[in-house]
Copies of this chain bind each other. A is one copy, B any other.
Amino acid sequence: MSAQAKTEPLFKKVALIGVGLIGSSLALAMRRHGLAGRIVGCTRSAESRAKVLELGLADEATQDPAAAAEGADLVVVCTPIGTYEDIGRAIAPKLRPGDIVTDVGSVKQAVIRDLGPFIPDGAHFVPGHPIAGTEHSGPEAGFATLFENRWCILTPPPGTDAGAVEKVTALWQACGAMVTAMEARHHDQVLAITSHLPHLIAYTIVSTADDVESSLQSEVARFSAGGFRDFTRIAASDPIMWRDVFLNNREAVLEMLQRFSEDLTALQRAIRWGEGDVLEDMFRRTRAARQRVLEEHQAGTFDPREPGAPK
């Protein structure tokens, strides 16, 4: 598509290992901004590969990570975290000096643990995490503007090649993202509270609602506008991806979950004993948190594929 652009694209050949919501959005953003000479998409199912080609997400589709990585100067791993070790083993023999491997996984210590050891000397591993998404999955879920005005966190281990970090930074910036770097351990703590715990809570409450007596069941969906529907959106996120997040950020998630449970117990007691002032105090404090989010311009993303969303 943009292979013949006058200026050299940032990467000659990009291998996307996994073409779900993030992979397909990245493909579309790279196309739009002429960042890749050629894109190869790697997905397991024949149906997905057909979809990848039909949607023009890649010039070529394969089910073999090694074939995808062959000759690629950038490999982007966009699969659930549980697959990283196998993918590392598969692509390792194809990586040449100077090639860059990055990823989009929501946990970073585990990724460095699982994928890092397979990166051969001379090739570079720059772990990354774009803080963007919707509740939709699969290659048809992507859109080119997903990363615009969103943060992308890179967690390069000490000693990572500065030039490789710069190129990955340039890639995300060209897709409209704001890029920052931090230690993998710190990333995992921050995301445990800003993303992993919220998803866990949303999955739980939707599951609790799902188990109510059949006399209430039909009304739960009907009257969901009072708050519940926001949780169903979050709890519709990809099951495998999230399973792997919780299994791979166990410590930080359990720590935050413990704090949450203590706070919930305190609130439960306040309700039981009718302590209105305790409730009011807490509810006033949380309002201030919303203000901080708004000030950070992180208040909302519109998925252009949603009915009613601004184009």
Question: A residues touching B (Cβ–Cβ < 8 Å)?
Answer: 82, 106, 131-133, 135, 150-151, 153, 186, 189-191, 193-212, 216, 219-237, 239-240, 242-244, 246-247, 250, 253-254, 256-257, 259-261, 263-264, 267-268, 271-272, 274, 276, 279-280, 282-293, 295-296, 298-302, 306, 308-310
Q: Which of B131, B193, B197, B308 contacts A225 (CB 8 A)?
A: B131
Q: Which residue of B lies closest to A212 (CB)?
A: B193
Given that A106-B226, A301-B225 are contacting pairs, would A279 and B243 also be in contact in the complex, using a CB cutoff of 8 Å? yes
Report yes or no: B289 in contact with A206, Cβ–Cβ below 8 A. yes
Report yes or no: B242 in contact with A283, Cβ–Cβ below 8 A. yes
Report yes or no: B198 in contact with A231, Cβ–Cβ below 8 A. yes
Count of identical protomers in the assembly? 2
Chain B residues near A207 (CB-CB < 8 A) = 263, 282, 285-286
Report yes or no: B246 in contact with A279, Cβ–Cβ below 8 A. yes
Report yes or no: B193 in contact with A220, Cβ–Cβ below 8 A. yes
Report yes or no: B225 in contact with A254, Cβ–Cβ below 8 A. no
A293 vs B286: C-alpha distance when bound (angstroms): 27
Chain B residues near A306 (CB-CB < 8 A) = 300
Q: Which residue of B lies closest to A307 (CB)?
A: B299
Report yes or no: A205 in contact with B201, Cβ–Cβ below 8 A. yes
A172 vs B306: C-alpha distance when bound (angstroms): 28
| Closest Cβ–Cβ distance, residue A147 to chain B (whole Å) | 11
Report yes or no: A203 in contact with B236, Cβ–Cβ below 8 A. no
Chain B residues near A236 (CB-CB < 8 A) = 286-287, 289-291
- Listed from nearest, the 6 A-B pairs whose CB atoms lie closest are A195-B226, A198-B227, A239-B283, A236-B290, A235-B286, A221-B292
Chain A facing B: main interface SS: helix
A292 vs B222: C-alpha distance when bound (angstroms): 8
Chain B residues near A234 (CB-CB < 8 A) = 227, 230
A70 vs B205: C-alpha distance when bound (angstroms): 45
Report yes or no: A286 in contact with B225, Cβ–Cβ below 8 A. no
Report yes or no: B284 in contact with A224, Cβ–Cβ below 8 A. no
Chain B residues near A290 (CB-CB < 8 A) = 135, 206, 232-233, 235-236
A141 vs B79: C-alpha distance when bound (angstroms): 43
Report yes or no: B250 in contact with A272, Cβ–Cβ below 8 A. yes
Identify the interface centre among A132, A221, A227, A272: most chain B CB within 10 Å of its CB: A227
A224 vs B222: C-alpha distance when bound (angstroms): 29
Q: Which residue of B lies closest to A280 (CB)?
A: B243
A286 vs B202: C-alpha distance when bound (angstroms): 9
Chain B residues near A264 (CB-CB < 8 A) = 200-201, 204, 257, 261
Name 13 interchain pairs, CB-CB below 8 A, sorted by A: A131-B223, A135-B290, A153-B223, A191-B226, A194-B224, A205-B260, A206-B289, A211-B259, A221-B298, A247-B274, A250-B274, A254-B272, A261-B264
Q: Which of B132, B194, B225 contacts A132 (CB 8 A)?
A: B225
